[in-house]
Amino acid sequence: MKGIVVLLFIVVSNLGFALPNYAPINPKLLEKKRVLNRNMGTTRMQENIKKNLEKSVTTGELKAPVILIEFSDKKHSNLHDKEYYSNLLFSDKEGSMKDYYEKNSYGKLNNIHGEIVNWVESDKTMGYYGLKDDSADIQNLVIEAIKKAAQYINFSNYDLNNDGYVDQLIVIHSGEGEEKSGIATDIWSHEWNLKTPYEVDGVKISKYTMQSEYSPVGIFAHEFGHALGLPDLYNTTTGGTAVGKYSLMDYGSWNGPNADGTSPSYMSAWEKVFLGWITPIDLNYADRNGTYMIKDIEENNINSVYRIYIKGKEEYLLIANRQKKGYDKYLPGSGLLVYHIYEGEINGESLEQSLKSNDINGKIPMRVKVLEANGKNDLGQSGNDGMNYGDAGDYFNSSAFTQLLSMKNNGVNSCIWNFSNNSYGLNSGVSLTEISSSKSVMSFKFSDIGLDFNGDGKVDGNDIKKVISTADNLGTDLDYDYDKKLDENDLEGYKDRFIRGLENAKIW
């Protein structure tokens, strides 16, 4: 049965960025914002922890009325009329939110449409609300917007799943967004829940998003990603990047000429798997020594993402083919991107808790991380050219970095990766080699040498000695479950590794 999503868009004048799920700051303002020490979301109200974790319907129709609201001291631009928002949100042309989601979902989330309600005016000024954007007071503006819109909209038409709640409320404000302007009295685009659901037309309204009238399609798409259930992938503790330009929920929302957000990058492989738009192909020990074809993820949801489990079902690699075309045309390179995914507990915090608190990449290990092909691990680091949001050295292809190896060696053009991305010297057993040139259909060879911990090409007592010597020399680097202690639980963590290596072992 086809799913239906109903969204309500309300355009509001400069609002405050409170404590919800925020849009990432424009890259040009990141360093300035760190100096200003602006709250980037580390403080969260308890009611927001209860935010709906269940993903919204991600296929079918999306019906979205749009309501515009402005302030007496901040009028909307004459360029931003009903036709402007109709084109930005619902046009069939490339560059609209509708087109972005239809292409990212491979047509699964289609027929995105809506009506535009013309501008209404708030009873309070932009300055009044703009200075209250660090608290729940900003939600009063949302409630005011709902009241102003009620004479034009029957909110009961937007509860298509019949749960008594409007499926999604989107608030757009006149004036600029603080994530771009850096001005404290401007309003930061965000997604949040009302502390107390507001009832109107026999339904309740709780979940909403808020954007500026000047927000590019990348910010609309980012906030709508939250509405679908996606978390932020940038570091919500510091505001810094984690996955960079390669994710809509990180700084990919600002991709485009001069980082203007008009061409947001396609979603990362993890985001598409999370939303159910791609089912990855699993590679296991039995698939070792095989050569595999991988299509570009921009246009294909079949044979475009591979998954290699490393630690049970909670730690794995995702491999995707990203090409510079369509919404990815402003990426810094092309080829295979490899993501390290960790879904286990971190300091006692489960994946579900990380999702609820919107803290995916604020702790070590990060839950979604790019394994950079050049091995520099400088994504998100400042250099002579400013912050690194991704560069050509992140990609694997035959013209640059041709293999992802599992152990230290003297080879060139290789990225070295070990368990949990720690560099304690144990061979993870997994390698990608013979990676082809960058093109729409690439190829790679997958190897898994199981228990060959020292990487000498055979399994014998020296591998056990390697484990023992590593433990003696590096101690807690063998803390496999990240609980800051070495115990039987860490031994349990290696179970899957041993199981997949037993077939190749000569010492049993």
Least confidently predicted of 178-182, 304-308, 374-378, 464-468: 464-468
Residue-wise pLDDT for 124-155, tens only, equals 988 888 776 666 788 988 999 999 999 999 98
Query: Do 104 and 31 share a structural domain?
Result: yes
Residue-wise pLDDT for 340-353, tens only, equals 999 988 889 999 99
- Give the pLDDT confidence score for residue 53 in this predicted structure: 44
Query: Do 143 and 192 share a structural domain?
Result: yes
- Give the pLDDT confidence score for residue 220 in this predicted structure: 93
Which of 167-176, 296-305, 462-471 ranks highest by mean pLDDT? 296-305
Query: Do 334 and 209 share a structural domain?
Result: no
Per-residue pLDDT averaged across 301-321, rounded?
89
Look at residue 166 and tell me if it is in a domain: yes
Residue-wise pLDDT for 75-110, tens only, equals 999 999 999 999 999 999 999 999 999 999 999 999
Query: Do 307 and 205 share a structural domain?
Result: no
Query: Do 321 and 431 share a structural domain?
Result: yes
Look at residue 257 and tell me if it is in a domain: no
- Whether pTM > 0.85 for this model: the answer is no
Query: Do 71 and 21 share a structural domain?
Result: yes
Per-residue pLDDT averaged across 164-172, rounded?
87
Look at residue 245 and tell me if it is in a domain: no
* Confidence band, pLDDT 50/70/90 cuts, at residue 26: confident
- Give the pLDDT confidence score for residue 266 in this predicted structure: 98
- Give the pLDDT confidence score for residue 452 in this predicted structure: 61
Look at residue 252 and tell me if it is in a domain: no
Per-residue pLDDT averaged across 498-503, rounded?
47
- Structural domain including 88 reads 4-229
**Where a domain ends, among 229, 260, 284?**
229
Look at residue 286 and tell me if it is in a domain: yes
Look at residue 247 and tell me if it is in a domain: no
How many helices and strands (H and E) does the chain possess?
13, 22
- Give the pLDDT confidence score for residue 416 in this predicted structure: 55
Query: Do 355 and 216 share a structural domain?
Result: no
**Where a domain ends, among 229, 257, 290?**
229
Average pLDDT, the chain: 80
Query: Do 21 and 139 share a structural domain?
Result: yes
Q: Which residue has the tokens 């709640």?
A: 165
Query: Do 223 and 307 share a structural domain?
Result: no
> Is 452 within 8 Å of 505 (Cβ atoms)?
no
Report which secondary-structure segment, H or E, holds 418. Answer: none
Least confidently predicted of 54-63, 101-110, 366-375, 492-501: 492-501
Per-residue 3-state assignment (H helix, E strand, C coil) for 436-500: CCCCCEEEEEEEECCCCCCCCCCCCHHHHHHHHHHHHHHHHHHCCCCCCCCCHHHHHHCHHHHHH
Share of residues in the chain with pLDDT > 70 (%): 73
Query: Do 342 and 205 share a structural domain?
Result: no
Query: Do 42 and 96 share a structural domain?
Result: yes
- Give the pLDDT confidence score for residue 493 in this predicted structure: 54
Look at residue 251 and tell me if it is in a domain: no
In sequence order, which residues have a C-beta less than 8 Å from that of residue 194 and are 6 or more positions away?
139, 142, 143, 205, 206, 207, 208
Look at residue 344 and tell me if it is in a domain: yes
Number of domains present in the structure of the chain: 2
**Where a domain ends, among 229, 259, 288?**
229
Least confidently predicted of 124-138, 223-237, 416-430, 444-458: 416-430
Residue-wise pLDDT for 35-79, tens only, equals 333 333 333 333 333 344 454 778 888 877 788 989 999 999 999
Per-residue pLDDT for 379 more than 90? Answer: yes
Query: Do 302 and 187 share a structural domain?
Result: no
CA distance 297 to 283: 18
Distance from first CA to last CA of the chain, Å, rounded? 53
Per-residue pLDDT averaged across 264-269, rounded?
98
